Amino acid sequence: MIVQIYTMQTPEEAVQVARLGVDHVGVTPSNHGLPGEISVDTARRIFRAIGSSAVKVALTVDTDADVIVDMVTKVEPDLLHLCGPIAGISPDGVRRLRERVAGVRIMQAIPMGGDDALSLALAYQECADILLLDSQAPDIPGIGASGETHDWNKSAEIVKRVRVPVILAGGLSPDNVEEAIRKVRPWGVDSLTHTNLPLGNGSFRKDLEKVRRFAARAKREDL
């Protein structure tokens, strides 16, 4: 089971998280007011610090291909996480973007709140390496960071129907990740909100004990 954790804000934090068995370490290089967002320079330093100890994932809610390519060029992720509004980049747009970020895999977020989640997943599997099934927050740009679960029955159906790896996100915590895995059978699981330690004023750092428990429970062999 692949474990993906968002969002790192310092090189030291990223190194600690990678040591806890996390496979994908995510950062949010942005200026859109996203939770835990950091500068491009900080993201680059984080990725250099973790080296090859984990897959380096960079999130963007942008839909302008030039902006995305500029970020990827500067940050140098292994995996680009597209989670802007789903109408912002069509499957054809993702295909064209792939040509401009050659060597970087693409993970497309699928919003799970509507009735079109399955059709979206089937369309975007044709252009993305990985699909990420996530809940959408009304007050945060893009898809994700809601801290809320969605209908796992829908997620399980997508896992059965698509031929690319699927990461389940949305409200996962050390307390519910095992149940989520049993119901959905994804390739990977993702956590942001429920592995955070709130610091006040909307800021946070990663709660390393919660990250440790999340990773350990997700990777249990008897699930």
Sequence spans of domains, the chain: 2-218
User: What region does 33 belong to: left with phi over 0, alpha with psi -120 to 50, or beta?
Assistant: left
Dist. CA 206–CA 208, nearest whole Å: 6
**For the chain, what percent of residues have pLDDT higher than 90?**
87
Give Rg (Cα) of the chain: 16
Question: Are the C-beta atoms of 144 and 171 separated by less than 8 Å?
Answer: no
The pTM of this model reads 0.95
pLDDT bin (cut points 50, 70, 90) of residue 138 is confident
Give the residue from 202, 14, 167 showing the smallest Cα distance to 6.
Answer: 14
Does position 113 have pLDDT exceeding 90, yes or no? no
Tell me which DSSP letter residue 78 carries: S
Neighbours of 218 (CB within 10 A): 26
pLDDT at 137 over 80: no
Average pLDDT of every residue of the chain:
95
What is the CB-side half-sphere exposure of residue 130 using CA atoms within 13 A? 26
Give 168 or 147, the one with higher predicted confidence: 168
Taking residues 134-163, what's their average pLDDT?
88
Residue 218 scores a pLDDT above 90: yes
pLDDT tens digits for range 47-99: 999 999 999 999 999 999 999 999 999 999 999 999 999 989 999 999 999 99
Concatenating the DSSP letter of every residue in 196-212 gives EEEEETTEEEE-HHHHH
CATH superfamily of 2-218: Aldolase class I (3.20.20.70)
* Strand blocks (E) in 10-163: 24-27, 55-60, 79-82, 105-111, 130-134
Size of the chain in residues: 223
Structure confidence at residue 91 (pLDDT): 97
CA distance to 20, 43, 164, 189, per residue, from 74 (Å): 27, 9, 28, 27
In this predicted structure, the answer to whether residue 142 has a pLDDT above a threshold of 90 is no
Please list, in sequence order, all residues whose beta carbon lies within 8 angstroms of the beta carbon of residue 158, skipping any fewer than 6 positions away.
110, 117, 118, 121, 131, 133, 166
